[in-house]
Chain A
Amino acid sequence: MAQHEALPVGGPLMTRPFKLLLGFLFFWAILLIYRFAVGIGPVSGLSDGYPWGIWIAFDVVTGTALACGGYAVAILCYILNKGKYHPLVRPAILTSALGYSLAGLSIIIDVGRPWLIHRIPLRFHIWNHSSALLEVALCVMAYTGVLWLELAPAFLEKYKDSPKVGAMARAGLAFFDKAMIWIVAMGLLLPTMHQSSLGTVMLIAGWKLHPLWASPVIPLLFLISCVGMGYAVVVAESSLSSHVFRTEAESGMLTKLATPMAIVLGLFLLLRFADVLFRGEFGLMFSSGLLSLMFWLENLLMFWSIFLLSGHRRERFSNIASAALLMILSGALYRFDAYIVAYDPGPGWSYFPSLAEVLITLGIVVLEVAAYIVIVKTFPILTGRAPADH
Chain B
Amino acid sequence: MSFDRRKLLKGFAAVGAGAAASALPAEASPPKPEVPPDAFGMLYDATRCIGCRACVTACKNANGLPGNLYDPPEDLSGDTKNIIKVYDHGKTDESYVKAQCMHCLDPACARACMIGALQKREFGIVTYDPERCIGCRYCQVACPYEIPKFQWDTPTPVIVKCELCHHRISKETGKPMPACCEVCPREAVISGDYRELLAEAERRIAENPERYWPAGSPKIYGKTDGGGTQVLYLAAVDFEKLGLPELGEAPAGYEAAEIQHTVYQGFIAPVALYGLLGAVLWKNRRSAEKKEEE
Contact = CB atoms under 8 A, between A and B. Distances in A.
Contacts of B252: 204, 206-207
Interface string B171-197: 000000000000000000000000000
A346 B240 CA distance: 12
A29 interface: no
B157 A113 contact: yes
B260 A129 contact: yes
B251 to A, nearest CB: 9
A216 B258 CA distance: 10
Interface in A117-176: 117, 119-120, 123, 126-135, 137
A83 interface: yes
A113 B133 contact: yes
A327 to B, nearest CB: 20
B135 A137 contact: no
Given A52-B141, A181-B281, A217-B20, A111 B115 contact: no
A48 B153 CA distance: 12
A59 to B, nearest CB: 14
A46 B112 contact: no
Secondary structure at chain B's binding surface: helix, strand, loop or mixed?
helix
A78 B281 contact: yes
Contacts of A263: none
Given A78-B284, A206-B253, A40 B134 contact: no
Interface string B223-259: 0000000000000000000010101000011011101
B199 interface: no
Given A78-B281, A113-B133, A203-B256, A39 B140 contact: no
Interface stretch (A183-191, A253-261, A318-326): A183-191
B157 A120 contact: no
A200 B256 contact: yes
A39 B260 contact: no
Most buried by B among A112, A204, A343: A204
Interface stretch (B41-49, B86-94, B271-279): B271-279
Contacts of A228: none
Interface residues on A, range: 35 or more
Contacts of A193: 270
A192 B133 contact: no
Contacts of B24: 216
B99 interface: no
Given A42-B153, A128-B114, A52 B260 contact: no
Interface string A223-259: 1000000000000000000000000000000000000
Nearest to A36: B155
B15 interface: yes
Interface residues of B, number: 70
A185 B140 contact: no
A47 B150 CA distance: 8
Contacts of B165: none
A283 interface: no
Secondary structure at chain A's binding surface: helix, strand, loop or mixed?
helix
A11 interface: no
Contacts of A192: 12, 15, 273
A79 B9 CA distance: 9
A194 to B, nearest CB: 11
Contacts of A41: 152-153
B108 interface: yes
A38 B253 CA distance: 33
A129 B261 contact: yes
A40 B153 CA distance: 7
A345 interface: yes
Nearest to B138: A133
Contact of A132 (B5, B137, B256): B256
Contacts of A134: 114-115
B19 interface: yes
B157 A131 contact: no
B65 to A, nearest CB: 16
Contacts of B268: none
A220 interface: yes
A230 B144 CA distance: 34
A69 interface: no
Contact of A206 (B114, B134, B144): B144
A371 interface: no
B260 A130 contact: yes
A128 B256 contact: no
Most buried by B among A37, A117, A128, A182: A128
Nearest to A107: B136
A38 B16 contact: no
A62 to B, nearest CB: 17
Contacts of B152: 39-42, 46-48
B41 to A, nearest CB: 22
B213 interface: no
A219 interface: yes
Contacts of B264: 129, 135
Nearest to A2: B292
A48 B147 CA distance: 9
Most buried by B among A39, A47, A49, A120: A39
A197 B256 CA distance: 9
A204 B141 contact: yes
Contacts of A123: 115, 132
Nearest to B279: A185
Given A79-B8, A207-B252, A184 B281 contact: yes
Contact of A204 (B19, B132, B142, B270): B142
Given A112-B135, A130-B261, A196-B19, A204 B108 contact: yes
5 contacts: A111-B134, A130-B260, A196-B16, A203-B256, A208-B144
Query: A-B pairs with the 9 shortest C-beta distances?
Result: A112-B135, A41-B152, A216-B23, A204-B253, A51-B137, A113-B135, A130-B257, A203-B256, A51-B140
Interface of B: 5, 8, 12, 15-16, 19-20, 22-24, 26-27, 76-77, 108, 110-116, 130-138, 140-142, 144, 146, 149-158, 243, 245, 247, 252-253, 255-257, 259-261, 264, 270, 273-274, 277-278, 280-282, 284-285, 287-288
Given A111-B135, A216-B20, 4 more contacts: A116-B131, A189-B270, A216-B26, A220-B19
